[in-house]
Amino acid sequence: MLAAASPFGRKEAFSLLKSLSPKRRLIPFEAARLLATGDPMVWETAAAMARAMREQVFGRRIVLFAPLYLSNECSNNCLYCGFRRENREARRITLSPEAAVAEARFLEKKGYHRLLLVTGEHPTRTQPAYIGDVLRAIYRETKMRILHVNAAPMTVDDLRMVKEAGAGVYQVFQETYHPETYAAMHPSGAKADFAWRLTCMDRAIPAGFGDVGIGALLGLYDYRYEVLSVLRHAEHLLEAYGTFPHTISVPRFKKAFGSPLSSAPFPVSDAEFERIVILYRLSVPSAGVVVTTREPAALRERVLDIGASQISAGSKTDPGGYAEGRRRHEAEQFEVDDTRPMEEIVRRVLAKGYLPSLCTSCYRKRRTGNTFTEMAVDGHIRDFCLPNALLSLAEYAVAAEDATLREESLAAAREARKEMEGSPLLPEFDRKFAFVLEGGRDQCF
Ligand code: SAM
Ligand code: SF4
């Protein structure tokens, strides 16, 4: 497809980009043509459309979350990862369910309500039953509202067990969709099986995961091939199950302690990274486009203006790292670039005119899978995103230790409430909002 895709002329590109909407997304061949287009004016317009697209689907809210690393024990040997089996210098840690609860409590105090549990793949330390135990323990012992999982591909039965333990989104990145590169990067272990990984979501969805997350690890192969493959994967999920992936992540290679790959074989520049975010947003309007703390602060701020909708904040990639409090290279997966704490991220998101959201409502009100995809495309999800973002922001503000941050957050929430004038949800919203200001928790639509 890449070879056949000719660049767009400016006029043709403008008229296509202006016609896009949540119901008229960029199709993969158009995405290939856009990728072949170098004209900066075209990309400027595409960036503006990507931002408009995100606002039509989700409004101004930006979802915040944190990863919780459970284990760095792994029997695979991915060349890029610090958790690989042959990294003899790594300090191996697998959190007990109690230790995972301690990490979750730490993050709960910081104001997070959604976490992404991340683990290596080890035949005895990180089995599905262990992940299930951790999920149940965190839900039981904390007020964490939704836990997503990024772990190895599993069988349908195992995926069902993890789902039944309360997982929200199941996330697996293909790393590279290029089979030869995949074979070179994954020389041994269960992960060497390309097809088992590629078909993971074809098991996860039948196992009950309405919401799945996909992505390619940028830097392993030609990014244009990877991006089109991610889009093709997304189209497959829509064709086969009626639902787009709930999230598309944009992880980019980072040098990892103890990994033999000291630099990306196909480096992706910041400008290319931006184009990838734009393409994902224009091609899969309903997806959460996720940019993590792998990226530098300035780029993370920029991607908010061009279609990203979810960012992690204050992350640690070593199991137990939150409670530990100091950096441990020898146990982390890769080096985090944006080390700003949650409070600073909230402040910056507000300063840029967006609404930091700690909302978890859709998973809990069963607006998931194809229901979510349809509501998002019809422009109905944003009707929920605004009040839910404001209620979660107000709850965050009331608990915030920093008085200035509290005032800034509440002022932004009150100002944004004006956008609800005329909404049938307004009277109920005002009741819930007043309740939250009095210290009430967990209010949503
Ligand atoms: N072990 C499971 C797996 O490989 O799918 C899940 C956990 S793994 C720690 C999560 C993701 O981290 C991987 O899918 C990969 O995309 C990403 N990752 C690994 N090494 C990385 C690196 N050096 N830089 C950036 N991302 C990396
Ligand atoms: Fe293990 Fe996942 Fe790291 Fe590969 S990416 S070494 S499977 S933790």
Compute the average pLDDT of residues 264-289.
Answer: 98
For residue 173, is it within any domain? yes
Q: Provide the pLDDT for residue 334.
A: 86
Q: Provide the pLDDT for residue 403.
A: 96
Q: Provide the pLDDT for residue 199.
A: 98
The answer on pLDDT for 1 being more than 80 is no
What is residue 61's three-state secondary structure?
Answer: strand
Q: Is the CB of 120 under 6 A from ligand 1?
A: yes
For residue 270, is it within any domain? yes
Q: Provide the pLDDT for residue 231.
A: 98
Q: Provide the pLDDT for residue 182.
A: 98
Ligand nearest to the CA of 251: 1
Give the tokens for residue 41.
């004016």
For residue 439, is it within any domain? no
- Kindly report the average pLDDT of the chain as a whole number: 96
Q: Report the nearest-CA residue for atom 2 of ligand 2.
A: 120
What is the per-residue pLDDT across 3-15, written as a single tens digit (0 to 9) for each? 789 999 999 999 9
Ligand 2 probe mutation, 94, 172, 191, 194, most atoms within 8 A of CB: 191
For residue 375, is it within any domain? no
The alpha carbon of 34 and the centre of ligand 1 are apart by a number of angstroms equal to 28
Compute the average pLDDT of residues 344-368.
Answer: 93
- Percentage of the chain surpassing pLDDT 70? 100
The alpha carbon of 215 and the centre of ligand 1 are apart by a number of angstroms equal to 11
Q: How many domains does the chain divide into?
A: 1
Task: Give the CATH number, domain containing residue 78.
Answer: 3.20.20.70
Q: Provide the pLDDT for residue 364.
A: 83
For residue 91, is it within any domain? yes
Q: Provide the pLDDT for residue 191.
A: 98
pLDDT band, very low/low/confident/very high, at 59 (cuts 50, 70, 90): very high
The alpha carbon of 388 and the centre of ligand 1 are apart by a number of angstroms equal to 31
Angle at 102 between CA 100 and CA 107, to 5 degrees: 95
Compute the average pLDDT of residues 139-162.
Answer: 97
For residue 52, is it within any domain? no
Q: Give burial (CB, 10 Å; 0-12/13-18/19+) of 103.
A: buried
For residue 38, is it within any domain? no
pLDDT band, very low/low/confident/very high, at 362 (cuts 50, 70, 90): confident
Compute the average pLDDT of residues 155-172.
Answer: 98
Q: Is the CB of 154 under 6 A from ligand 1?
A: no
Ligand nearest to the CA of 74: 2
Helices 40-58 & 270-283 angle (0-180, nearest 10): 50
The Cα 364–Cα 145 span in angstroms is 8
The alpha carbon of 70 and the centre of ligand 1 are apart by a number of angstroms equal to 13
For residue 93, is it within any domain? yes
Residues 145-158 as b/e (b if ≥16 CB within 10 A, e otherwise) read bbbbbbbbbbeeeb
Q: Provide the pLDDT for residue 8.
A: 97
Q: Is the CB of 172 under 6 A from ligand 1?
A: yes
**Domain range for 220:** 57-361
Q: Provide the pLDDT for residue 160.
A: 98
The answer on pLDDT for 2 being more than 80 is no
